Chain A
Amino acid sequence: MTEPILSVRDLVVKFSLRGQILTAIREASLDLYPAETVAIVGESGSGKSVFTKTWIGMLDANGWADSGSILFEGRDIAKFTTEREWLTIRGKKIAMVFQDPMTALNPLRTVGMQIQEALELHQGMRGEQAKARTIEILAEVGIDMPDVRYHQYPHEFSGGMRQRVVIAIAVACNPRILICDEPTTALDVTIQAQILELIRSLQKKMGVTLVYITHDLGVVANVADRVAVMYAGEIIEYGTVEEIFYDPRHPYTWALLSSLPQLGIKGQPLYSIAGTPPNLFTDIPGDAFAPRNPKALKLDFVKRPPFFQVSPTHYAKTWLLDPRAPKVEPPETIKALRAKHDERYAL
């Protein structure tokens, strides 16, 4: 494989909350390769957003990268402290699209100006040239009558159109990595599909690396090349979409997939993961998912598993992959998935 463009190693992110220390990201590692699409999935509070916000220095004021490294263009950006350092990356090299387009735009500035700001900042354009390019970008993201729309205000745009504008801002930044933090959650289903399609076509054109943060596994299957599964601030498994969906290895990934309504068996109650995610204020020994995993090994409660290789692209953090581990069968739903997959490939 080619060189990664961003390489996160054992990142630890902590927050200070009411005098207590919360560890939001616990030694998460991830590599991003040029022009690929990676989806980070996990339940609410698993640290998906925080993890990616660390890459552009947008943690809340009470949070900091405690240890680990984020290598990007030969620099360890986890060590950045000043705003000036971050401004060399933020927006310029790594941009972000947020969840709610309804509130993401300044209601008192024209849409055109808000896109143009990014052009002026990152592409050194000025005046008429910047305006012309802004109108071009508006057209690129699929907005009709861009020269009229340029002068309009956000309240004159619908939700889906506003998300297009937000994407247009990201395009204007011309970044190497674009993080989409649940870009379609706030939109209705038909618009969702349009926005995903738009992002995909722009990616092709710009050759940007896309990172999707989502808990919608349907979206993941649609858009991603690779998937990273996050639990309690850790990446516990990553691999290609095929590998994660059809050959998952971590008990949490099993549980996550089993709880998909599409995979449920008619007449049986829908599977849901028992228990709650661990308390991030305390130190978590071993595998963070062990307390919720009925088939957890004794070792899972004591020692944190390292990454085991399943294939050159597929890694999982579970003791089950250790050669000495007892054989634990994945749940029926997962086995059925695997069988379906094998069947298809046998053909």
Chain B
Amino acid sequence: MRLARTALLGAVALGLGIAVSGVVPAMAENGPGVTDTEIKIGHIGPYSGPASAYGTIGKTIGAYFDKVNAEGGINGRKINFISYDDGYSPPKTVEQARKLVESDEVLLIFQSLGTATNTAIQKYMNAKKVPQLFVATGATKWGMPEKYHWTMGWQPNYQSEGRIYAAYILQNYPDAKIGVLYQNDDYGKDLLGGLKEGLGDKTGMIVAEAPYETSDPTIDSQIVNLKASGADLVIDIATPKFAAQAIRKIGETGWNPVQIVNNVSQSVGGVLKPAGFENAKGVLSTGYLKDPTDPNWKDDQSFKDWSAFMDEYYPDGDRSSSFTVYGYSVAQTLEQVLRQAGDDLSRENVMAQAANLKDFVMPMALPGIVVNTSPTDYFPIQQMQMMRFNGERWEMFGPVIEGSGGN
């Protein structure tokens, strides 16, 4: 006992010494993780677990920064992209975020993926005043600058996506009986909420709602229930694995409803191919990025650039997957923010520049879609276009629709 007490005292003394020496702050103009030659960027994504299909996004971003570095970096600084796996589990996200902020000392965390996982670290990031930039989730709650100054989304939010579907259905299928398959979490309920809001007093058109959990092995029984409800229009609010299952199951049961699959699951390689092209023919969705399998873009310069990038920096990547286009475009958005920040790479200025994007054109976004933010508008992308899968690729139709912001 005496030994332990001596050790404790020694340890306290040692610890205090270290604490004092560590407290003296370095008053440089740049934030942590920035030197004259390097910018450290943190990333958290699911490389394992139920949502591991999204791992492609992190890999694409890493490959894109390899390209940026090979071309001389940003204002002479190379990007050091540190990406960790959280398996889509919130406690692990907290651990990895703390590792990035406190041990790796990154300038910011970029594109952390998932709604529950980002919720778990949002308060921590804002208390530490570390940018949680362009999170990979379309929840509407990432655009609340007055409450969470340090958190910003990127993709069109789920609520406006739901409203766009509602508008489309009201106009084209006013007599539809709608069945909704949705993931029983923030994301699923957010999109469903937008849909109901858009339907307004026509919410009665929804004849069946079938929730599923990410832990479910299959969603066959949900599909059977939807079919039994007599619905003739199905909306799949589902992540890639489940969307693929849904499209396949609907095809196999010989049911032939109008089918809308939400934007997160529009990947041809990741969803429609495993679902079977014969089953996926005629499926509707919305888009904001160019589909790499669409031959219309064959001679498009931005497509050629993307293609060259894939060849050189991510040759193993799935060229038919929208995730590689997503990763490429979001990385370009961050590149733009860092270029705008110039040599003032403090966390404050990075956040200020992220909220100061004006008509920024991402080469792989659909024509007419631009990125705009302001200190009160934390929704970078707010436009989408309807599209239809013709059995081989997506075909855009109709105008670019402005989904008005969040709440």
Pair from one complex: no
